[in-house]
């Protein structure tokens, strides 16, 4: 994971720099366009079909790039060039990390904390608002969150903000207990 982040960082920083340049002439919605494009690219790049194509020496990087651009759809020329660069440098496998790092740079630029809240059960609006209020207080910045239901947590929540993980889940506590008992 650390190696993937290291490989992805220059691409994320370059993409963010390009997005900032585009935002000067096209407005701040450019950042959302880039985030969405990188998320879609990540989803397709992580698929078994694309992994098979990446591992096939008969598929040229340019062809792989063209396929991904067509499948992802709606990319700007600059975004298409990023896909081509990733393909030529055999770095499509780090597309999820590029997306994540880009979103982190975007959040920092916008002065917003973005969190992922994984919950064993769906949260109602008040519960979500309460968690967001606590995160805003903790990080002293406005907080936005993606709420994901993850039954594997058994109970409780697990919150991810950048590199920080706040694990208040039953499965997390069971893992810690098992580790303590085996040591």
**Record: fold of 2-107:** Peroxidase; domain 1 (1.10.520)
List pLDDT tens digits, range 53-103: 998 999 999 999 999 999 999 999 999 999 999 999 999 999 999 998 999
Residue 147: how many CB atoms within 10 A of its CB? 16
* Residue 88 contacts residue 21 (beta carbons within 8 Å): no
* Residue 115 contacts residue 143 (beta carbons within 8 Å): yes
Residue 28 confidence (pLDDT)? 87
* Residue 151 contacts residue 170 (beta carbons within 8 Å): no
Q: What is the pLDDT along the chain (183 residues), one digit of tens a residue?
A: 569 889 999 999 999 999 999 999 999 899 999 999 999 999 998 899 998 999 899 999 999 999 999 999 999 999 999 999 999 999 999 999 999 899 989 998 999 998 999 999 999 999 999 999 999 999 999 999 999 999 999 999 999 987 789 999 999 899 999 999 998
Q: Which of 113, 78, 82 is nearest to 95 (CA)?
A: 82
* Residue 117 contacts residue 147 (beta carbons within 8 Å): yes
Q: Which residue has the tokens 């910045």?
A: 141
Q: Which of the 8 DSSP states describes residue 145? A: E
Report the alpha-carbon distance of residue 97 to residue 182 in Å, rounded: 33
Q: Which residue has the tokens 């697990």?
A: 158
Residue 128 confidence (pLDDT)? 96
Q: Estimate the crossing angle of helix 2-26 against helix 29-45, to 10 degrees.
A: 150
List pLDDT tens digits, range 61-71: 999 999 999 99
CATH 1.10.520.20 residue window(s) in the chain: 2-107
**pTM tops 0.85, yes or no:** no
Q: In a 3-state reduction of DSSP, which class is residue 183?
A: coil
Question: Any idea how long the chain is?
Answer: 183
Q: Which of the 8 DSSP states describes residue 91? A: -
């Amino acid at each position: 994971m650390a190696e993937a982040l290291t490989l992805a960082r220059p691409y994320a920083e370059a993409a963010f720099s390009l997005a900032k340049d585009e935002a000067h002439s096209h407005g701040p919605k450019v950042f959302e366009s880039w985030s969405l494009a990188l998320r879609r690219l990540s989803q397709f790049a992580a698929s078994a079909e694309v992994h098979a194509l990446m591992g096939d020496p008969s598929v040229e990087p340019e062809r792989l790039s063209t396929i991904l651009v067509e499948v992802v759809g709606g990319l700007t020329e600059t975004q298409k060039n990023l896909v081509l660069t990733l393909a030529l440098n055999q770095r499509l496998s780090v597309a999820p990390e590029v997306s994540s790092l880009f979103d982190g740079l975007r959040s920092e630029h916008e002065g917003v904390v973005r969190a992922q809240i994984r919950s064993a059960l769906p949260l109602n609006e008040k519960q979500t608002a309460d968690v967001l209020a606590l995160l805003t207080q903790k990080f002293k910045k406005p907080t936005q969150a993606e709420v994901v239901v993850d039954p594997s947590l058994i109970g409780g929540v697990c919150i991810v903000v950048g590199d920080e993980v706040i694990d208040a889940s039953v499965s997390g506590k069971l893992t810690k207990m098992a580790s303590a008992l085996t040591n």
